[in-house]
Structure formats: structure tokens, C-alpha cells
Amino acid sequence: MNRTRIIHDIFFSFANENAAEAEKIIRKLVTAGLKVFSPAMHEVGEPVGAIWDELTTSLAFVVFLSDPQQQPTPNMLVELGGAMAWKKPIYALYSTRDAIRYVFLTDTVRLYRTDEIDKMVEQVKEMRAPISRAERQILAEVYAKHGVPTDQLLRQQKLSMQFLAAYHRAIGRRVPDEAVLREVLTLRKTGKLPRLQKQAGNKSRVSQKRR
């Protein structure tokens, strides 16, 4: 089933047994002005890969933990691992302090109680770094000139840093790295990113078509 593509601010991960409480939190986030996706929104008939697309294009990852006796589900661990691999800002919402024992406590995980949700909302909103239409066009041009496919660009830190440095030089200002990479994924998702075609020697050129 085709849906209008929405780029979400938050990918919200939770266990099915916490669905009722999680839905209340999601409503609060939406009321606060954030666009939220959770795997529960995945429609029957859609490719499973669509969930992964939502994770890669979302601005931040939020995992909800409730009962301290509850073990994270395999899906939650996969989603959390994906968020870490994509270097997403990660937030852990918990209703009891003991629940945080199940979070991989790293510098990338920011902990908030459910009654502190407003603080988290403000941080996510601050990450929204507007990129102008002209800067978006420059981003596509830099991507084409760089010649590295998005998957490699986002998985290999050296390539990513080279690309970001080139983009910042081109626009003459500094935009948060997460915002730039998210914009690359958004352009790809909406079909506005130049398609690269491999040539001999593993080099790429730009096709006239758009992906």
C-alpha cells in the first residue's frame, strides 16, 4: 500500500506488552509538535524493509522501558543496535529508575523519566537544523561529485567525514552532521538524489535519472 512519505522526527521502540502506555507517550510527543513513527504503525502488506527505512531517516531514536522485570524484546535490541550503527541520538524513556538497567549505557544514550518528556522534546526540536532549498540543491551536487553511494557513505566514517567537510565548504557554514546525513536520506527517500552508476575500477558516475 502506497502512503504519503513522511519524514519522522522520532523512531519510537517499545514492547507489545507496553503498547497502551507507549501510545499515550506517542500522543504527547505528537501534541508537542513531533512526527513519530513506531513499528506498530507498519501496515500489513508493506515491505518489512519499510521499518528500517523509517529508522534510517528519523532524526532520533527513543526506546521506552517500563517494568524493571521486563526483558527487551529481540526486535527492540535490533532497532537499538541499528540506531547505534547509524549514530542516531538515542533517548531512553523509563517510568521506573530500575528499568534503565537494560539500556546499553553509553555516551549516546540520554535518559529521561516519562515525567521529563518535555525536556526530551525540546532537545529533539533543537536538532532540527533548517537547510534551505539552495543548500539542499548544493547537497545533491556535492553528493554527485563525491560519487559514493549512500549506504557506503553512512557506514564508513572516513567517507562520511570527507563528504561532510566538502558540503560545509560548499555552503560556507556549519550544519550538524546528523542533520546533513538525515537530509541525504530524505532526498533519497523522496527520489531527489542523483543516481550513481558504477564504472570500471569501482568508480561511480551520475545518471541523468533520479532515484
Q: Classify residue 88 as exposed, middle or buried by CB count within 10 Å of its CB (0-12, 13-18, 19+).
A: buried
Confidence of residue 163 (pLDDT cuts 50, 70, 90): very high
User: In CATH, what number is assigned to the domain containing residue 154?
Assistant: 1.10.10
Structural domain includes residue 1: no
Structural domain includes residue 3: no
Structural domain includes residue 5: no
**Mean pLDDT (whole number) for 2-7:** 60
Structural domain includes residue 45: yes
Q: Which tens digits make up the pLDDT trace of 14-73?
A: 998 899 999 999 999 999 999 999 988 876 566 667 888 888 888 899 999 886 666 778
108 in Cβ contact with 132 (< 8 Å): no
Domain, as residue range, for 82: 10-126
Q: Which tens digits make up the pLDDT trace of 69-124?
A: 667 789 988 998 888 877 788 898 887 655 555 555 555 678 888 889 999 999 88
Q: What is the predicted pLDDT for the residue at 139?
A: 94
Q: Report the C-alpha gap between 98 and 142 in whole angstroms.
A: 47
Q: What is the predicted pLDDT for the residue at 67?
A: 66
Q: Which residues contact 198 (CB under 8 A, 6 or more apart)?
A: 204
Same domain, 114 and 201: no
Closest alpha carbon to 85 in 155, 188, 150: 155
157 in Cβ contact with 106 (< 8 Å): no
Q: Where are the alpha helices (DSSP H) in 111-176?
A: 117-126, 133-146, 150-155, 157-171
The pTM is what? 0.67
Same domain, 47 and 116: yes
Q: What is the predicted pLDDT for the residue at 125?
A: 86
69 in Cβ contact with 17 (< 8 Å): no
Domain total of the chain: 2
User: In CATH, what number is assigned to the domain containing residue 77?
Assistant: 3.40.50.450
Q: Which tens digits make up the pLDDT trace of 134-152?
A: 999 999 999 999 898 888 8
Same domain, 156 and 176: yes
